[in-house]
Amino acid sequence: MAPIVISRDHHDVSGTDSPFRETSNIADGSAFTADMAVQNFVGDAFRGATWISLHNGGGVGWGDVINGGFGMVLDGSEDAARRAESMLNWDVANGVTRRCWAGNSLANEAIRRTMQRVPGLQVTLPHQVQDDALLDAF
C-alpha cells in the first residue's frame, strides 16, 4: 500500500485570519491581526507537518486574508499517526483558544472541557474584566 498525502491551503479552525469571513466572530477588535494563522503555521511545523506554508489570498481576495497551510505524508507508520493526531488536534485547540482569548464565552467553556479530556493540553485562560471595573480604575 502506498503512502497518501493530506493537505490544505489553510487549516480549518485556526489556519485563516480573515475579518470578513473566518475570523468575523472575533469581536474584541483583534480580528484584523494575523496572529492565529501564524500560530497555526508554526504549530503545524513543530507537530510534524511534512510541509507548511504561510500565504496571502484565498476566497475573500488578496490582502484580505492570511492562511497557514500544510501538507502531511501518511505512510502507515506509528510516527505518522502520532504526528497527524498531534497536528490535527492542534488546529482545533488553537482556533478555539484564540476565540476564548477574544472573549467568546462558548469558546472558553469548550477549551476548558477539552483540557479535561486531552492529556497535556494546557491553555492560559483569560481573566474576564467587567466594563465598569475599567471605568472605576480612572
Query: CB of 126 within 8 A of CB of 111?
Result: no
CATH (residue range 4-136): 3.40.1770.10
CA distance 110 to 93: 9
Rg (CA), the chain: 17
Band of the pLDDT at 119, cuts 50, 70, 90?
confident
Instruction: Tell me the average pLDDT across 41-54.
Output: 90
pLDDT exceeds 90 at position 124? yes
What's this model's pTM, rounded to 2 decimal places?
Answer: 0.77
